[in-house]
Amino acid sequence: MNKKLIILLTLGIFLSIYLLGDISAVCCEKTEAGDICQNVASAEYCDSDYDINGNLACSSTTFCSTGTCVDRTRGECVPSTRAACNPSQGGYFYEQPIEEVTECQKVCCIVNGPDYVEKVTCNSIGSEYNIQPEIIEGISALECYSLADADVMGACVIENNLGRDCDMTTKSDCTGEFHKGLLCTAQDLGTICVPSEKTTCIEGKNEVYFKDTCGNNANIYDSSKINPINWDYWTYLKNPYEDPICNDGSGNKYSSSCGNCNYIEGSTCGLGNSADYGDYICQDIDCKEGELAEKFNDLYDNFPKNGDSWCIDSLGDVTNIRDFENAVPGQTSFRASCYMGEIQFQLGNQYRNKICFSQRTEDTKKINAVFIPNRWQDCTFQNNTADCENTDRRDCRVLEGVNMVQSEGMSKKFINSSTDKEIRASCVPKYSPGLNFWEPTLDIASQGDNQQKNTESVCQIGTSICGAAYSGEYENRVTDWEWDAYSWECAIEKDCMNKEKQGEVEDCVEGCGGSLCFGNEDSDKVPKNPNIKQSWILNSEKLCQNMGDCGAKSNYHGFIGYNIWDDLIKMIDTK
């Protein structure tokens, strides 16, 4: 097979995969394996009880279009395909999207206090409590929650054989006399409950709370309020968002006097013996142990805080996306996150199709990392600097000094959009992707995918070929080459030779400046003993390397790979 055909085939495969995606012949509404709406190679994979379309991809069929599955028993609306919405499990399918289904409209639902939920959910909650819920339509969530007066906590006083007993509860749950916003220890209530030195943690909350002698939770622990007793503090329920509560501004970690813990600041209620009263304190949940925390501290001069996330590489070193501009085999992007004193990490994508990007906010000093897609797939299609560097569409960069091969005898033209002139450059991935380089000829194909590709064919795109037409001595042989040049500069030479034949110029080689890749560094003219130009080699190496895990590279540990450049750079005498 000649080179032209190979290159065209490779580009053809590349283009078709990119443009068409993985196309399979048949769409099953449900497969034998139970998966919903899958494109497969043959109808034999489909569950014959469900729809099958042999002509269209699932995304184009009506039976796989997404509608809404409503579970009236449970009270849920979920975007779903028809096949997945199982009627035997209470599912009812609507073809419309959620926002167009009346049952899924948000309403203010009053059952033991207001809640802004879907209508179907409200009915379901009502059934659960065996009451008819009050539904108010057409009001906002804010308006709905402002009706929450009945849900405010307070002291519920009940006379029993012990005297005036008291529970902290909501008005709707109170079966005795309800005193909104008051604690059971309020003196005016005359209950049997009095302040105690005991404290507790409450499930779902982060703060430490005082308890009264009846076991009710009181306000957030503040040791200055118990001895002597501050009756305002032991009378009214304090709102943590409105009322002044003890606070050192950094989560009150290990404070003996204040239980106003703050999850965002890195503290939460936990057992501790250093409190002035009770057995609970604000425990520090920042991450201060382990190698990853130490490496973070080395860079930022503080340990990771609860909720911090940052980028690391395969060795645990702190990185960021820019470190992947010349990624080497095995270099992968991870995200480390600190929660509840524990560092956990997550891989973006082992082929660097997603790369971690982190930012530190100056005001809060919090560092936050996310994975962003590495949009390198169409870089090699771009033929000008503006399209190549359009960061809204892709993650590519202009590599100067070398053109990609388009077809035999021709390099791919590349335009400087500012000057509208041709330049010697290529558009390459900004963050070089990973490839399955250890199995270079292994076909990569998805289920039901009849397209084939492999690492070798991908790296082939980064191959540079430079032809030279010259006469001279090469490796002790006297040659007389008249080969069509690959590069556009060499094409000028070809053109020049035509001119020479027509008598328009006398010395074509001299006049056209020689080859792009052959010659002495200091001379543009074709030498008698040509060498491959070092600058051309370096540019070609860069092009190859930027295509991904191609060419000769050391891995992320610094170990040299099985290719060396000397083996990969060849001079071929085609004459």
Q: Which residues inside 454-513 make contact with other proteins, applying CB under 8 A?
A: 454-455, 457-458
Contacting residue, 34, 138, 228, 249, with other proteins by CB under 8 A:
34
Q: Which is nearer to other proteins, 231 or 345 (CB)?
A: 345
Q: Which is nearer to other proteins, 12 or 190 (CB)?
A: 12
Residue with tokens 């339509």: 137
The interface region with other proteins, picked from 203-211, 399-407, 423-431, 521-529 by CB under 8 A, is: 203-211
Q: Is 567 helix (H, G, I), strand (E, B) or coil?
A: helix
| Interaction of residue 236 with other proteins, rule CB under 8 A | no
**CB 415 to other proteins: min, Å:** 24
**CB 395 to other proteins: min, Å:** 13
Which 377-396 residues touch other proteins, going by CB under 8 A? 377
The interface region with other proteins, picked from 157-165, 446-454, 463-471, 563-571 by CB under 8 A, is: 446-454
Contacting residue, 59, 60, 132, 471, with other proteins by CB under 8 A:
59
**CB 538 to other proteins: min, Å:** 25
Contact between 460 and 10 (Cβ < 8 Å): yes
| Interaction of residue 426 with other proteins, rule CB under 8 A | no
State the chain's maximal CA–CA distance in angstroms: 124
Contacting residue, 48, 89, 132, 140, with other proteins by CB under 8 A:
89
Q: Which is nearer to other proteins, 430 or 533 (CB)?
A: 430
Contact between 392 and 373 (Cβ < 8 Å): no
Q: What is the b/e burial string over 270-286, where b = at least 16 CB atoms within 10 angstroms of the residue's CB? A: bebeebbbbebbbbbbb
CA 297 to chain centre: 24
SS (H, E, C) 235-296: CECCCCCCCCCCCCCCCCCCCCCECCCCCCCCEEEEECCCCCCCCEEEEECCCCCCHHHHHH
What is the enclosing helix (H) or strand (E) of 509? helix 508-512
Q: Is 7 helix (H, G, I), strand (E, B) or coil?
A: helix
CA distance 133 to 137: 12
Contacting residue, 18, 129, 254, 438, with other proteins by CB under 8 A:
18
CA distance 247 to 257: 10
Contacting residue, 7, 26, 53, 80, with other proteins by CB under 8 A:
80
Q: What are phi and psi of 14, to 5 degrees?
A: -55, -50
Contacting residue, 259, 448, 462, 472, with other proteins by CB under 8 A:
448
Q: Which is nearer to other proteins, 380 or 539 (CB)?
A: 380
Total residues interacting with other proteins, rule: CB under 8 A: 73
The interface region with other proteins, picked from 21-29, 392-400, 503-511, 515-523 by CB under 8 A, is: 21-29
CA 188 to chain centre: 57
| CA contacts within 13 A on the Cβ side of 130 | 0
| Interaction of residue 81 with other proteins, rule CB under 8 A | yes
| Interaction of residue 559 with other proteins, rule CB under 8 A | no
**CB 42 to other proteins: min, Å:** 13
The interface region with other proteins, picked from 68-76, 384-392, 408-416, 557-565 by CB under 8 A, is: 68-76
The interface region with other proteins, picked from 76-84, 166-174, 482-490, 506-514 by CB under 8 A, is: 76-84
CA distance 533 to 521: 6
Q: Which is nearer to other proteins, 285 or 526 (CB)?
A: 285
What is the enclosing helix (H) or strand (E) of 309? strand 309-312
CA distance 269 to 573: 77
**CB 463 to other proteins: min, Å:** 15
